[in-house]
């Protein structure tokens, strides 16, 4: 439909009909299989509101959505199509590694492909919009939704957010098998006080602009059709009513003109925040802040029309919002084809296709991070990859678990997943492998608390808990297996339900029952590889100390078992890098590599001087730093060389380069990282910041030059007045394979007048 026609349609609509376009109904009003991702107590829709709403969330399925659309459009006075929205965060039915694990690939191109595959499965299932990517920066492992971020770094998050938007939307969301993206949660939801879900966010405008906003902006620049307002207050103002954040920053400064949708009930919740006296005030503050759609409550439906008639709000702001919703429907081509790509035959062909499974296996392989791999004194070889002659005992609650997807894989099914056991039986010499569960995912009491807390229908199998007698029996079997084996692969970690929304934890340790099993097994057989699952960085001190090798595999998704066995056997040489620091302990949080120096920085890790910025009882540096990850081969990176020592004068840029050599015994991939430090500026600058990445795959003995162009733009930051600027002076630059790097090269940016 032309924009002219769209405007004419808008003009033909009554005030109530325009308001109805701003209402989003939970799918549970239409389909018992709908996913409910928020408190349903807020939703009290009338039959008219239900039948006239502009969009629905939480339902999938070509047949179901076609039926709903046909009935809806028949009854709608202008036959305007419904929008179908769903959280497709890291896959619809083929589940890819959770976003934090995708961040660990340091491979935006691969991440874009996973989003495209997710879009394909969603589009043929009748879905039009996904509530992804999440662009929240997260430096707090206590917060359950760290799993849904791509980590602690602004630059990496910006790359990944743009890649996911492009994967979902392609060049245009109206294209076949594409869906509209929704960058969320605007803004700074990932910094709740105390790491406690939905808690307040206090953040200087400087830090907001410097570290937290760029990834959202990157998604908007990539063309995201929607943005979602966050639950949290930002410096005392809830995002859904934050006029400065939404109208000045988002729409004016960032130029976002798409649909702004609230989070689930976040408009109504401004009353609970103590920001609005009543529903009318919440409706007024939200619509005037530019929030176009009220997700899952009747605040807009019950109050907007009346407030226009009473003159408390203008009809113009209703028209603006309704136009943006209609325009989104038009950009998706729904006026011409209200079912878009929904097709039952295509669904059967595309969902969980071999191609998608292969991509999921590739992404899971590349997300695995090798944290430790000690040499075995007896064999003189590193413990991993596992030698095919080893007698291997796979032990732990994750050995046969198929719950390898996050709580944000809402349409994912455990039965579609490949467990470690299934993969080992398929890909390893059967006579040489044994399997034993050993213990539950958590102790029984904790499991029952979780059951009451999350969902009474959860079974003991879902929770991975056993009765006392079974616990004793499976432990005995595990210790027997450990004694017989030449090598133990312990598969441990946090249950998938212990991360995600509303799953903050004050303790980031491995569940105690699992740690106890680990200790008993290590008494029986010290040749241990520990494979760690979970949605957040965990406290791995004891595991790391007593294991000879450690793999972080996150929640790897549908092909997780295959990918992990590919890494264990050496079919794939691990290449993942940490997108988030692993704290030494929960007391270190927030811990992140790009910190400020302070006036009394440690002078190296061994500095014991008293008057230093430090803890008395733990080190400053994390157990494992951002950007860290080992390989089965050895990469040697030469010292950095610079084409020049200054930029900004006649020369606008310089080249910084290294030679990367595969000095080991097998092919591998290294992620080379560029870090820069502004040594002195009008506001203090981080001790280093990631400014470039380059993945290189080298055969044994092969070497390659890796070069980065250093420009004035890379050196820009927000000064004390919020201006994006660069300042002349000295800089340090590193090119290495982790943020934990020392020997930097110095260069200078000359005075601006020369630029």
- Which parts of this chain interact with ligand GLC (CB under 6 A)? 37-38, 57, 87, 131, 184, 263-264, 501
263 vs 366 by CB, closer to ligand GLC = 263
258 vs 686 by CB, closer to ligand GLC = 258
357 vs 496 by CB, closer to ligand GLC = 496
Minimum distance of ligand GLC from residue 129's CB (angstroms): 10
- For residue 299, give every residue at least 6 positions away whose Cβ sits within 8 Å of its Cβ, in sequence order, or none: 267, 268, 279, 282, 283, 286
Other Cβ atoms within 10 Å of 235 Cβ, number: 15
Minimum distance of ligand GLC from residue 376's CB (angstroms): 45
Q: What's the CA gap between 151 and 97, in Å, rounded? A: 14
Minimum distance of ligand GLC from residue 159's CB (angstroms): 21
Query: If you write DSSP's letter for every residue of 367-424 in order, what string do you get?
Result: H-EEEEEPEETTTTEES-SPPTTS-EEEESTTSS----S-TT-TT--GGGSPPHHHHH
Burial pattern 549-584, b for ≥16 Cβ within 10 A else e, equals bbbbbbbbbbbbbbbbbbbbbeebbbbbbbbbbbbb
Minimum distance of ligand GLC from residue 283's CB (angstroms): 19
Q: What's the CA gap between 478 and 498, in Å, rounded? A: 25
186 vs 635 by CB, closer to ligand GLC = 186
Q: What's the CA gap between 534 and 553, in Å, rounded? A: 8
Provide the β-strand partners of residue 748.
646, 730
263 is catalytic: yes
Minimum distance of ligand GLC from residue 501's CB (angstroms): 6
168 vs 734 by CB, closer to ligand GLC = 168
37 vs 585 by CB, closer to ligand GLC = 37
Radius of gyration in angstroms for the set of CA atoms belonging to the chain, rounded to a whole number: 27
> Phi/psi of residue 207, each to 5°?
-65, -40
Q: What's the CA gap between 572 and 103, in Å, rounded? A: 19
232 vs 443 by CB, closer to ligand GLC = 232
Minimum distance of ligand GLC from residue 504's CB (angstroms): 13
Minimum distance of ligand GLC from residue 144's CB (angstroms): 11
- Give the pair of three-digit tokens for residue 696: 């290189």
Provide the β-strand partners of residue 531.
491, 551
Other Cβ atoms within 10 Å of 449 Cβ, number: 12
Strands 646-647 and 745-749: parallel
In the set 87, 107, 153, 263, the catalytic residue is 263
Q: 245, 308, 268, 271: which is closest to 23 by C-alpha?
A: 268
Residues catalogued as catalytic: 263
């Amino acid at each position: 439909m032309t924009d002219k026609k769209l405007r004419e349609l808008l003009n033909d609509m009554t005030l109530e009909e325009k308001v109805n376009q701003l209402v989003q109904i939970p799918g549970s009003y239409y389909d018992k299989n709908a996913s409910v991702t928020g408190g349903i107590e807020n939703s009290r829709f009338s039959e008219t509101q239900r039948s006239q709403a502009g969009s629905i969330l939480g339902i999938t399925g070509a047949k179901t959505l076609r039926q709903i659309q046909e009935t809806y459009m028949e009854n709608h006075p202008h036959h305007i199509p419904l929008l179908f929205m769903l959280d497709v965060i890291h896959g619809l039915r083929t589940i890819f590694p959770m976003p934090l694990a995708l961040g660990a690939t340091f491979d935006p191109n691969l991440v874009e492909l996973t989003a495209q595959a997710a879009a394909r499965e969603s589009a043929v299932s009748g879905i039009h919009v996904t509530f992804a990517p999440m662009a929240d920066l997260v430096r707090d492992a206590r917060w359950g939704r760290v799993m849904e971020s791509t980590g602690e770094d602004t630059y990496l998050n910006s790359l990944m957010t743009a890649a996911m938007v492009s994967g979902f939307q392609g060049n245009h969301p109206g294209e076949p098998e594409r869906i509209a993206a929704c960058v969320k949660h605007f803004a700074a939801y990932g910094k709740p006080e105390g790491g406690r879900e939905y808690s307040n966010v206090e953040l200087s405008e400087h830090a907001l602009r410097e570290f937290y906003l760029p990834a959202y902006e990157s998604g908007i620049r990539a063309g995201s059709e929607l943005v979602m307002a966050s639950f949290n207050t930002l410096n005392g103002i809830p995002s859904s009513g934050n006029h400065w954040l939404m109208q000045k920053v988002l729409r004016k400064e960032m130029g976002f003109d798409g649909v702004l949708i609230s989070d689930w009930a976040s408009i109504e919740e401004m009353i609970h925040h103590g920001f609005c006296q009543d529903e009318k005030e919440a409706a007024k503050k939200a619509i005037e802040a530019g929030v176009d759609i009220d997700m899952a409550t009747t605040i807009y439906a019950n109050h907007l029309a009346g407030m226009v008639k009473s003159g408390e709000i203008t009809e113009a702001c209703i028209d603006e919002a309704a136009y943006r919703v209609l325009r989104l429907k038009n950009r998706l081509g729904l006026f011409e084809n209200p079912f878009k790509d929904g097709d039952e035959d295509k669904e059967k062909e595309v969902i969980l296709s071999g191609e998608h499974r292969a991509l999921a296996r590739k992404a899971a392989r590349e997300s695995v991070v090798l944290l430790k791999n000690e040499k075995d004194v007896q064999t003189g070889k590193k413990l991993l990859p596992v030698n095919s002659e080893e007698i291997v005992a796979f032990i732990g609650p994750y050995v046969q678990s198929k719950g390898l997807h996050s709580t944000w894989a809402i349409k994912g099914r455990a039965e579609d997943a490949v467990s470690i056991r299934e993969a080992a039986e398929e890909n390893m010499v059967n006579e040489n492998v044994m399997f034993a569960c050993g213990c539950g995912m958590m102790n029984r009491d904790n499991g029952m608390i979780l059951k009451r807390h999350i969902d009474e229908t959860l079974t003991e199998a879902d929770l991975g808990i056993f009765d006392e007698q079974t616990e004793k029996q499976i432990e005995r079997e595990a210790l027997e297996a450990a004694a017989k084996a030449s090598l133990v692969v312990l598969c441990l970690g946090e249950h998938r339900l212990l991360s995600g929304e509303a799953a903050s934890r004050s303790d980031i340790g491995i569940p105690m029952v699992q740690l106890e099993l680990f200790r008993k097994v290590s008494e029986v057989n010290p040749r241990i590889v520990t494979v760690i699952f979970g949605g957040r960085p965990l406290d791995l001190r004891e595991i790391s100390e007593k294991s000879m090798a450690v793999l972080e595999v996150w929640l790897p998704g549908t092909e997780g078992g295959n990918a992990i066995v590919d890494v264990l056997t050496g079919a794939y040489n691990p290449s993942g890098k940490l997108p988030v620091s692993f704290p030494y302990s929960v007391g270190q949080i927030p811990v992140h590599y790009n910190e400020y120096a302070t006036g009394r920085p440690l002078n190296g890790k061994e500095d014991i001087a008293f008057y230093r910025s430090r803890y008395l009882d733990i080190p400053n540096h994390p157990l494992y730093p951002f950007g860290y990850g080992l390989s089965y081969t050895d990469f040697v990176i030469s010292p950095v060389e610079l084409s020049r020592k200054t930029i900004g004068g006649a020369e606008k840029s310089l080249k910084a380069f290294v030679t990367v050599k595969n000095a080991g015994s097998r092919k591998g991939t290294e992620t080379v990282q560029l870090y820069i430090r502004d040594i002195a500026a009008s506001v203090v600058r981080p001790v280093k910041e990631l400014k470039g990445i380059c993945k290189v795959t080298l055969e044994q003995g092969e070497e390659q030059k890796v070069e980065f162009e250093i420009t004035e733009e890379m050196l820009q930051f927000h000064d004390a007045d919020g201006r994006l600027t660069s300042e002349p002076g000295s800089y340090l630059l590193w090119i290495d394979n982790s943020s934990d790097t020392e020997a930097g090269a110095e260069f200078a940016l000359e005075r601006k007048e020369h630029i």
